[in-house]
Structure 1
């Protein structure tokens, strides 16, 4: 009930109204959001496939992760900012949507897993990826794919 009331209040604010009524804002912000998703997914794909031992096996896992992790973090900041604009502009579309909250939970989970299990790789000298780390790499790939599907599904629920 709180989210519905908050969403209704937010929808009526001058900022939200201005965002909706300026015809180019939402398409531009959605485009930026999608580009940032591509950066996150592309960087995560390369990093996770390296950790799973599928690609770039001639490079140390820490080197690959170190190369792509900053791209992931920066793109996540862009996603947070652009997503906030989209929520402010159309709060009813997201705040009351279960799929949106599933997506947010998955993104948070991927963030925590990435923070927890990538830090040791950045300081590991031997470059050996353990079997649990490989399993987590595959899990993170699945999570990012589900995040994409949830993001698209929001528009249809």
Structure 2
């Protein structure tokens, strides 16, 4: 089954129809999705700016990361759940969209980089490349936001 066939099948399911036909579901889920994006980006922004030595230099980097990482993980779960609901509601809008897949690749990259590169910080060990990685991850999260916005226009 290819992506187009899967999207057509998903669109015809009762749950997809319910999501589309109930006037408040999609706007509510989109609002929740956007709020979760704000939490992810806000948490990443504070953590990455601390690691880049731009913000909160009076606190150890590990302490700042430990404070904001749980917010980031919880918000990513909310993003996953709300994103799945949006895909179920309008599969053709996302599954066949190259920008959507670029966004997903960027999110997976940011997630993997955060897991691998932030683990030492939980022990207050800042790796030497932390500053460069911080700027890279900030750029990736900004790209995720732009891709998310452009999904509607492609």
Using the size of structure 2 for normalisation, the TM-score is 0.98
Q: Does 1:138 align with 2:130?
A: no
Task: Give the match for residue 46 of structure 2.
Answer: 46
Q: Does 1:105 align with 2:105?
A: yes
Q: CA deviation at 1:4?
A: 0.3
C-alpha distance in 1 between matches for 2:26 and 2:141: 24
Is there any run of 5+ residues in structure 1 with no aligned partner, and where? Answer: none
Structure 1 vs Structure 2 CA RMSD: 0.9
TM alignment of 1:3-152, pairs within 5 A:
3-124=3-124, 129-152=126-149
Q: How many residues align?
A: 154
Q: Which stretch of structure 1 is more off in the superposition, 79-88 or 130-139?
A: 130-139
C-alpha distance in 1 between matches for 2:48 and 2:27: 31
Using the size of structure 1 for normalisation, the TM-score is 0.96
In structure 2, the residue corresponding to 1:155 is in which secondary structure? helix
Q: CA deviation at 1:132?
A: 1.1
Q: Deviations over 1:78-125 (max 9, x none)?
A: 00000000000000000000000000000000000000010001113x
C-alpha distance in 1 between matches for 2:129 and 2:99: 29
Is there any run of 5+ residues in structure 2 with no aligned partner, and where? Answer: none
Q: CA deviation at 1:130?
A: 4.0
Task: Give the match for residue 156 of structure 1.
Answer: 153
Q: CA deviation at 1:133?
A: 1.2
C-alpha distance in 1 between matches for 2:74 and 2:90: 24
Q: Deviations over 1:135-156 (max 9, x none)?
A: 0000000000000000000000
